């Protein structure tokens, strides 16, 4: 597929194009995850650059070639009227609470623009989850994208962590995360790609980001970056071929997160709090179903 076709696919993408329509979704949210300093922010800058005309490179997402990372908040960057890319806070030590925060970002339970603080206690996490119910977001179609630098060798322990994250992405979103390998020319990306495919990745695309010092548009580099966005949209189209229920799916994501926290905590008091939250989720689900049935008795819950 040539650059013109890729740009056209992205620029004219519509959630209404399928025979079932948008089913309640209003926006595609491309959620970026990865370890700190692996190039998430640079990838966002590159995506915006290849979708625009001209050779003027900008850095709307603050990026720096560092292993420490800069992103501390969930920051949103619109690519089109329908597609938004989100730079989530990168992982570092990946302890139980940090992993839970990652899934809270993936599930869209932390508002866009809010600073992400790695918490060290259950109560603080539950407070954030409760606050997310004040203005629940049901209308974003989430596509996970995992960014990994080929300059890094994947240790066995980290590989298992990434594999588990990929599996949980499928449970929460129904989509296998797209793998973006950055710094394509600075390592053996073919070996890293093979390892990700052995972990279950379906789409792995190696790219070289554009930067302030390397911003002359080339055919290969631009095509690789556009292919990532196009692959995400093809996943959305595929999922929308089946009946969806955005409200129910959000409830299921929250139940997954609560179960995940339950599995990683042992305190009896914590377990009691989780059980109480589960009951609140169950009651809220019943209320939503009753509301839908009362509004449209003929409507079947997907």
Domains: count for the chain: 1
Q: What is the pLDDT of residues 79-133, one digit of tens each?
A: 999 999 998 876 665 556 677 888 888 888 877 755 545 455 566 666 667 777 7
Residue 300 belongs to some domain of the structure: no
Residue 232 lies in a domain: yes
Its domain, for residue 72, covers 3-241
CA distance 285 to 287: 5
Task: DSSP for 251-281, please give it.
Answer: HHHHHHHHHHHHHT---HHHHHHHHHHHHHH
Instruction: Please tell me the pTM assigned to this model.
Output: 0.82
Confidence of residue 9 (pLDDT cuts 50, 70, 90): very high
- For position 75, which CATH number holds? 3.40.50.300
Q: Is 273 among the domain residues?
A: no
Lowest mean pLDDT among 126-135, 207-216, 264-273: 264-273
Is residue 267 assigned to a domain?
no
The tokens describing 254, both together, are 């929250």
> Residue 206: what pLDDT?
97
Q: Which two tokens stand for residue 226?
A: 């556009």
Angle at 131 between CA 126 and CA 137, to 5 degrees: 115
pLDDT of residue 22 exceeding 80: yes
Whether the CB-CB separation of 77 and 61 falls below 8 Å is answered with yes
- Give per-residue pLDDT as tens, 267-298: 545 556 666 666 777 777 777 777 766 766 54
pLDDT above 90 as % of the chain? 46
Average pLDDT value over all residues in the chain: 82
Is 134 domain-assigned?
Answer: yes
Is residue 42 domain-resident? yes
Residue-by-residue DSSP string for 216-241:
---HHHHHHHHHHHHHHHHHHHHHTT
pLDDT at 138 over 60: yes
Residue 59 lies in a domain: yes
pLDDT in tens, 24-40: 999 999 999 988 888 89
Q: Which two tokens stand for residue 83?
A: 């597609």
Residue 281 counted as domain residue: no
């Amino acid at each position: 597929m040539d650059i013109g076709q890729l740009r056209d696919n992205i620029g004219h993408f519509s959630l209404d194009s399928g025979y079932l329509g948008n089913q309640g979704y209003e926006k595609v949210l491309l959620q970026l995850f990865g370890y700190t300093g692996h190039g998430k922010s640079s990838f966002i800058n590159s995506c915006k650059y290849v979708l625009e005309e001209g050779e003027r490179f900008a850095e709307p997402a603050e990026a720096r070639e560092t292993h420490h990372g800069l992103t501390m908040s969930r920051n949103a960057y619109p690519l089109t009227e329908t597609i938004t890319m989100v730079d989530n806070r990168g992982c570092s030590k990946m302890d139980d609470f940090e992993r839970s925060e990652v899934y809270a970002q993936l599930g869209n339970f932390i508002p866009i623009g809010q600073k992400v603080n790695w918490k060290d206690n259950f109560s603080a996490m539950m407070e954030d989850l409760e606050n997310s119910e004040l203005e629940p977001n049901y209308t974003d179609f989430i596509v996970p994208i995992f960014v990994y630098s080929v300059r890094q060798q994947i240790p066995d322990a980290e590989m298992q962590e990434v594999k588990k994250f990929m599996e949980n992405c499928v449970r929460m979103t129904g989509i296998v995360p797209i793998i973006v390998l950055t710094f394509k020319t600075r390592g053996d990306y073919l070996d890293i790609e093979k390892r990700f495919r052995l972990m279950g990745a379906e789409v792995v695309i190696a790219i070289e980001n554009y930067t302030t010092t390397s911003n002359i548009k080339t055919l290969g580099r631009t095509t690789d970056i556009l292919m990532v966005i196009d692959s995400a949209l093809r996943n959305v189209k595929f999922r929308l071929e089946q009946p969806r229920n955005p409200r129910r799916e959000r409830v299921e994501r929250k139940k997954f997160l609560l179960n995940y926290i339950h599995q990683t905590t042992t305190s009896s008091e914590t377990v009691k709090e989780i059980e109480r939250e589960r009951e609140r989720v169950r009651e809220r689900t019943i209320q939503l179903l009753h509301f839908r049935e009362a509004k449209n008795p003929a409507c079947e819950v997907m």
